[in-house]
Amino acid sequence: MSFEINHTHDAKARSWVESTNRSGSDFPIQNLPCAVFRRRHSAEAWRGGIAIGDEVVDLAALSQKGLLQGLAATATAACSQSTLNAFFDMGPSAWQALRHGMFRLLGLDANTEQQRTFAECLVPQSGVEYAVPVQIGDYSDYYTSIYHAENIGKLAGLNTATPNFKWIPLAYHGRASSIGVSGQKFRRPLGQAKAPDAQAPMLQPTQKLDYELELAIYVGKSNQLGQPVSVSDAEQHIFGIGLLNDWSARDIQFWEMAPLGPFLGKSFATTISPWIVSLEALAPFRLPFERPARDPQPLPYLDAKANRAAGAIEITLEVWLGSSKQRVQGVPTKRVSSTSFRHQYWTIAQMLAHHTINGCNLTIGDVLGTGTVSGPTVSEAGALIELALNGAAPVELATGEKRSFLEDGDTVALRGFCEKPGFARIGLGECLGEVLPALDVQRGY
């Protein structure tokens, strides 16, 4: 795979930024994820930042301090822009140079003068706001959880996933313009839906609004039109991973998906977390990619020794669901499900390789959604339609309210982290979204 375990993964490493050394921190010195930020309620320019404990490293300020040299310094300057695209364009060597340079400066071995100078570039996370970290040219969303596919199939009256599922990393072309960063608030969408016993469809606000627990894969290196990327080289084209909520209007989606793919049922909002965790930071949590012996093995273009050895990643993923009543009462949100990315039927390398096998040219900043991440049990469902069995078994919130689908005022928070004995905990942060009431139907067109 792309990166090997090295000194930046040492669990004993500590930072002079005290908040990063606390147990359970998402952002220890072994993580160092990237985002784009500015101080809240300011007119400051957006610029790149790196998380360390409860702080954000202002990379635009750091680039003026002269603490980094060579490729790491050039990479820091590239991160001074309003998106991370220019930094991604520098390639894996620059990605690693910046991370290793930051690891050195933030470590306890940094001298007192370096620490004092660096501290001038720290901004409390509690006082910042985030932007979508990259200019996203295109967004493709996959369908790569066998458990999600089988659960949806059963709810639709089928016995299993579609026959092509075990042969192809399935995907559709999403809508990049409606992708927003964590904290996104969006209106309940309008669209056509048809009740089973109705004679005709109606234009109405969705009655079956859902979330989807996913990861976002960020393309960091483009390929030329007509030049596929092999599965062996695919991860050299991926900078890192974040959280993604592919909000879905199920009644609109299922009515329009005959015969084509999702359209208005998906394009109204997609929420991503602000932080992108590099593949290098995730190196300790790689697992073998294993396919059940009874299932067809991947075609040769989707197979490689390295992918079989370490193509999967152990990432724990959680869904936390709240309501307006819960917020008024001051009741904590409730975790309604938890699963792992290791269950995914296809790896991130296979997704990217398949995307380009026809010659499709991915560009820097493109986002690939992994598709809903669900596990083998009901409690590991990554979508509410699965968890509540399409309304047959409503989910109870911390307030005692029940949900078959999302209601106005509801919030959904996705969280993710990696844990393994002998290594530091690596967090992905949070991906939060809130449902607002729909526009009046007559104003919807």
DSSP structure string for 318-362: EEEEE-HHHHHHTPPPEEEEEEEGGG-SS-HHHHHHHHHTT----
For residue 207, which of 443, 445, 12, 441 has the smallest C-alpha distance? 441
Structure tokens at 174: 């999403």
Q: List strand residue ranges (DSSP E) for 31-166, in order.
A: 34-39, 47-52, 55-58, 122-124, 128-131, 139-143
Q: Tokens at residue 195, please?
A: 């009740």
Cα separation of 161 and 158, whole Å? 8
What is the C-alpha separation between 50 and 38, in angstroms, rounded? 12
From 148, 343, 354, 355, the catalytic residue = 148
The C-alpha angle 292, 294, 295, rounded to 5 degrees, equals: 70
Collapsing DSSP to helix, strand or coil, 117 comes out as helix
Measured between alpha carbons, how far is 183 from 186 in angstroms, rounded to an integer? 10
CA of residue 308 relative to chain centroid, distance = 23
Q: Which two tokens stand for residue 237?
A: 């084209």
Could you confirm whether 343 is annotated as catalytic?
Answer: no
Tally of CA atoms within 13 A in the half-sphere of 114 that contains its CB? 17
Largest CA distance in the chain: 75
Please identify which residue in the block is written with the tokens 């620059």: 94
Token pair recorded at residue 55: 């702080």
Euclidean distance between CA atoms 409 and 398, whole angstroms = 15
Amino acid identity of residue 205, one-letter, is P
Active site residues: 148
